[in-house]
Amino acid sequence: MRTSIATVCLSGTLEEKLHACAEAGFDGVEIFELDLVVSPHSPERIRDLARHLGLTLDLYQPIRDLEGVDEALFAQNLRRAEAKFRLMNRLGIDLALICSNVATATVNDDAVVADQLRRLGDLAARYGVRLAYEALAWGKYVNDFEHSYRLVQAADHASVGVALDSFHILSRDWPVEPIERLDPEKIFFVQLADAPRMQLDVLSWSRHYRVFPGEGGFDLAGFMAHLLRTGYDGPVSLEIFNDTFRQADPFRTAIDGLRSLIWLQEQARERLASEQRGEGNVRLATLPAVDEPSGFNFAELKGTEPTRLRQMLDQLGFADSGRHRSKPAVELWSQGDARVIINAQRGAEGRLQVAGIGFDVVEPLASCSRALQLHATSVQRTQQLGEEVLQVVSAPDGTEISFARLDDQGRPPWMVEFEHTVPNDGLITGIDHINLAQPWQHFDEAVLFFESVLGLRAQPSLDITAPMGLVRSQVVSSEDRAVRLALNLAPLGRGDHHGRFHEQHIAFACTDVRALARQAVANGLKQLRIPDNYYDDLQSRFDLDEAFLGELRALNLLYDRDEHGDFLHFYTEAIDDVFLEVVERRSGYDGYGAPNAPVRLAAQYRV
């Protein structure tokens, strides 16, 4: 399927945008009018640049408020359109987007509108231009794609077809099945945009909150499946108005966009397959199947001064499994299936951070290949002869993601490279979840990355109150919850514009967190101190047994309850930007203690 993207999706100058689209690997672009108007480069030079970059110029957009007007205004509008057709000739673009009139329409008469579309088509044809008529969700008289299609049919002109835009259709909850009945020859262009579900006026929603397919709440896969059933074989193009994308690195945004289109093709194919229907005329992008991870292989922490971390792991009952045989700066600590790799070798700024996450999969090579085809960055690792080849890619935030298959004893193959391979059997049984901070410009990208690469499912996002602002938190997890990642977006806050505030952590699963806390504290572990006021409030909310409450209080344990069961957890003090958590889930509790997160953030803010 041909992929395209509107220049309005990206930050920067028109040339930067074209370079970003080409580098990501798009087939073509839509030129958004304002990007050209503000450019010092002639249309011919832009045309040549696109050709040089191997990009087709698929669409010029938008031409607004042309139809549904009286004859005097229509004459002016024809003149205005003609100037744009001339410009399109200079750009070498033969398709224009005509938006349904929102501002100047006074004639709500389909026969008049169809006649005006026909006359626009006559004019366009003289310039070799075709017109894709789009029903904007807030069009004055025309705001439904079926209506725009009827008008196009009535105009009955070879140069006039419709443009379908998923946002304008799905935001209004128009029925999507009728898409299948459209003549594919009359679908001149298709634009795709997702958006979070909001109760906001549709214009503001469209102008500020669109996101790439898979990053919002619309069923884009269903939309695509309906579209493919028509036999449509033209390009699908991203048109995203997003306040954050406008401020972000366009090269990254373009990759995020292309990833969404590749993933969407897979989703649409699966949708069609599930209904025993073919894919029509179009070759959809193929990907190795999702190999949903069944657990965490390891978590890797890097930093130049790991002494405190070693001590902390020791206090938590981890066994020092020794150094890596060929990489002396790398050591392994383990307890049950929880494996922590400490890497003292690297770490740009020296501060401790979560540098890598290993996932248990069945086919590591296929998982890695899937990630690379979804435009993850490949990571090269030096390897000694005979060592296990780890399949590694980089997530958008720079965390290294690797894939390995457990052996018959349930151990990852790379463990033999460490001095001692027998893990400690303690109260900690594995890694429950890992919490990663995301830069504010790339939060949606991160969510889609983990959804598309690992097949994780996004849970509803939460705003958590912290002393420096609201922290957006979104969990992505595997269906069986064996893998859970919490992605956090820190507020820009006061002073530190990078928003780093102990935002990464590793949470270990534990069978008896009270016993563990007692042992660890006896071993000298420094816990995050939880205020007395928290326990008073907890008691008012849950009416707990006084002895139990006293134990929680004494052990700095936090408590939560959902419809399944109870949750007990504690935090360690932070080391640089990282801290550890130990959790005990009882009877299938499925959350993360969200009501307790403000208590943690406030306590960490004071340190």
Residues making up the annotated binding site for Mg(2+) are 433, 505, 581
Q: Closer to a second copy by CB, 231 or 591: give it.
A: 591
Closest CA to 188 of 116, 133, 257: 133
Least distance between a second copy and beta carbon 187 (Å)? 28
Site for a second copy in 488-517 (CB under 8 A): 491-494, 497
- Does 605 bind a second copy (CB under 8 A)? Our answer is yes
Q: Closer to a second copy by CB, 23 or 249: give it.
A: 249
User: 457 — phi, psi (to 5°)?
Assistant: -110, 135
Q: Are 391 and 366 in contact (CB under 8 A)?
A: no
- Kind and range of the H or E run holding 344: none
- Does 201 bind a second copy (CB under 8 A)? Our answer is yes
Query: Annotated binding site for a divalent metal cation, which residues?
Result: 134, 165, 191, 239
Separation CA 348–CA 304 (nearest Å): 9
Which three-class secondary structure state does DSSP give residue 455?
Answer: coil
Least distance between a second copy and beta carbon 342 (Å)? 32
Q: Closer to a second copy by CB, 99 or 401: give it.
A: 99
Separation CA 28–CA 261 (nearest Å): 13
The region of 104-112, 240-248, 264-272, 449-457 touching a second copy under the rule CB under 8 A is 240-248
Q: How far is Cα of residue 532 from the mean position of the Cα atoms in its chain?
A: 39
Among 48, 407, 537, 545, binds a second copy (CB under 8 A): 537
- Does 239 bind a second copy (CB under 8 A)? Our answer is no
Q: Closer to a second copy by CB, 13 or 519: give it.
A: 13
Least distance between a second copy and beta carbon 154 (Å)? 27
Among 131, 211, 248, 582, binds a second copy (CB under 8 A): 248
The region of 41-49, 273-281, 288-296, 307-315 touching a second copy under the rule CB under 8 A is 41-49
Q: Closer to a second copy by CB, 37 or 348: give it.
A: 37
Among 1, 4, 29, 43, binds a second copy (CB under 8 A): 43
DSSP classification of residue 245: G
User: Binding mask 514-533 vs a second copy (x if CB under 8 A, - otherwise)?
Assistant: ---------------x-xxx
Among 106, 465, 511, 587, binds a second copy (CB under 8 A): 465
Q: Are 252 and 231 in contact (CB under 8 A)?
A: no
Q: Closer to a second copy by CB, 17 or 585: give it.
A: 17
Which three-class secondary structure state does DSSP give residue 489?
Answer: strand
Q: Closer to a second copy by CB, 154 or 468: give it.
A: 468
Separation CA 226–CA 268 (nearest Å): 9
Closest CA to 172 of 194, 144, 210: 144
Closest CA to 462 of 425, 489, 502: 489
The residue type of 355 is A
The region of 92-100, 172-180, 192-200, 502-510 touching a second copy under the rule CB under 8 A is 192-200
- Does 369 bind a second copy (CB under 8 A)? Our answer is no
Residues 6+ apart with CB under 8 A from 79: none
User: 239 — phi, psi (to 5°)?
Assistant: -130, 100
Among 541, 564, 587, 588, binds a second copy (CB under 8 A): 541
Which three-class secondary structure state does DSSP give residue 403?
Answer: strand
Please count the residues of this chain forming the interface with a second copy, following the rule CB under 8 A.
58
Q: Closer to a second copy by CB, 63 or 312: give it.
A: 63
Which three-class secondary structure state does DSSP give residue 582?
Answer: strand
Q: Are 81 and 33 in contact (CB under 8 A)?
A: no
Could you tell me whether strands 330-335 and 236-238 are parallel, antiparallel, or unpaired per DSSP bridges? unpaired
The region of 113-121, 246-254, 360-368, 407-415 touching a second copy under the rule CB under 8 A is 246-254
- Does 249 bind a second copy (CB under 8 A)? Our answer is yes
Separation CA 226–CA 174 (nearest Å): 13
Least distance between a second copy and beta carbon 598 (Å)? 6
User: 493 — phi, psi (to 5°)?
Assistant: 70, -165
Q: Are 242 and 208 in contact (CB under 8 A)?
A: yes
User: Binding mask 543-582 vs a second copy (x if CB under 8 A, - otherwise)?
Assistant: x---------------------------------------
User: Binding mask 20-39 vs a second copy (x if CB under 8 A, - otherwise)?
Assistant: -------------xx-xxxx
Separation CA 392–CA 509 (nearest Å): 25
- Does 246 bind a second copy (CB under 8 A)? Our answer is yes
User: Binding mask 87-116 vs a second copy (x if CB under 8 A, - otherwise)?
Assistant: x-----------------------------
- Does 204 bind a second copy (CB under 8 A)? Our answer is yes
Site for a second copy in 130-149 (CB under 8 A): none
Least distance between a second copy and beta carbon 320 (Å)? 34
| Six-digit token string for 57 | 């110029």
Q: Are 132 and 117 in contact (CB under 8 A)?
A: no
User: 247 — phi, psi (to 5°)?
Assistant: -105, -5
Site for a second copy in 280-339 (CB under 8 A): none
Least distance between a second copy and beta carbon 201 (Å)? 4
- The per-residue DSSP string of 351-368 comes to --EEEEEEEE-S-HHHHH
Separation CA 174–CA 165 (nearest Å): 12
Closest CA to 593 of 555, 561, 545, 551: 561
Contacting residues toward a second copy, per CB under 8 A: 11-13, 16, 33-34, 36-43, 76, 79-80, 83-84, 87, 198-201, 204, 243, 246-249, 465, 467-470, 491-494, 497, 529, 531-534, 536-537, 539-541, 543, 598-599, 601-603, 605-606
